[in-house]
Amino acid sequence: MPDYIYKKIADLLRKDILSGKYGSEDIMPSENTLAEEYSTSRVTIRKSFAILAEEGLIKPRHGKGYIVQHPSHTTFELEFSDLETGDARHYHKITIVEPDGDVAVALKDRTKYVVMTRSTIIRNGKAVTCDEKYIPYRRGEPVVEKEINYVEFPDMFAERFPPVSMWVRLEVATSAAPRDVARLLGYAEGQTLMVVRRYIYSGNAECVGYTKRWVGMDYGPIVAKSGYMVNGRL
């Protein structure tokens, strides 16, 4: 829609890269050359190049020029949130337990007690995941009401930590379902299921939360995407 100069030029240059006119390791025309060619200022050309650089198509080299770099497709973007659109969540259990096994390892035995929340995601009337959340227990805090209201993790910790200083490690693996989980999802005990684990770390590298999602066969795969987009479309 907009006839912005920098955008137009970026589109033209991108096309030249995608079409193969400029191949990998080639050096693009210089900023000054293009500024003159398109009768515009150098700043505008820089803005066009900044777009392509952001997209990973070129890489600037001081004193040399912009070098064409075709992407290698080894980095993927994965979307994963607690709330999936159209799904319902059922809460089954909220208890205070002593951490053991992977929970103790994840939270590094920092606290004697953790709040454990167990819930399932219901899709088409069937439980497709079994989610467990473990949060260090703090004496004197009202537990049940709080935990049940917060579904998204960042909110959960908003009052304890500045949310922006947290980060999450996500793991996907398989594991044998324990009795409770198997029953909720309708499988035999010991059935191998996909498990998504999340470790929530605070800014000072402390693990302040741990979640485990047992994924049923009906849930579908975990999906990630990679590659080069044009106009927001792959």
Partner DNA sequence: AAGTGGTCTAGACCACTTC
Partner DNA sequence: AAGTGGTCTAGACCACTTT
List contacts with a copy of itself (CB under 8 A).
Answer: 17-20, 54, 57, 70-81, 152-154, 162-174, 191-194, 197, 200-201, 203, 215, 217, 220-229, 234
What count of other Cβ atoms lies within 10 Å of the Cβ of residue 66?
A: 22
Q: How many residues bind DNA (CB under 7 A)?
A: 24
The partner in contact with residue 224, picked from DNA, a copy of itself, none with C-beta cut-offs of 5 to 8 angstroms by kind, is a copy of itself
- Choice between 134 and 153, CB closer to a copy of itself: 153
What sign has the CA pseudo-torsion 176, 178, 181, 183?
positive
Residue 26 near residue 70, CB atoms below 8 Å: no
The partner in contact with residue 110, picked from DNA, a copy of itself, none with C-beta cut-offs of 5 to 8 angstroms by kind, is none
48, with CB counted inside 10 A (0-12, 13-18, 19+), is buried
What count of other Cβ atoms lies within 10 Å of the Cβ of residue 176?
A: 12
Residue 190 near residue 176, CB atoms below 8 Å: yes
Q: Shortest approach of a copy of itself to residue 112 CB, angstroms?
A: 27
- Choice between 42 and 90, CB closer to DNA: 42
| Interaction between residue 88 and DNA (CB under 7 A) | no
Which of 13, 14, 17, 44 lies at the binding interface for DNA (CB under 7 A)?
Answer: 44
Q: Shortest approach of DNA to residue 73 CB, angstroms?
A: 25
- The residue among 94, 147, 83 whose CA lies nearest residue 121 is 83
Q: How many CA atoms lie within 13 A of 203 on its CB side?
A: 6
Which of 15, 20, 33, 110 lies at the binding interface for DNA (CB under 7 A)?
Answer: 33
Q: Shortest approach of a copy of itself to residue 188 CB, angstroms?
A: 11
- The residue among 118, 123, 120, 89 whose CA lies nearest residue 218 is 123
| Interaction between residue 40 and DNA (CB under 7 A) | yes
- Choice between 11 and 113, CB closer to a copy of itself: 11
| Interaction between residue 62 and DNA (CB under 7 A) | yes
Q: How many CA atoms lie within 13 A of 35 on its CB side?
A: 10
Q: What residue ranges bind DNA (CB under 7 A)?
A: 4-7, 28, 30-33, 39-44, 46-47, 60-66
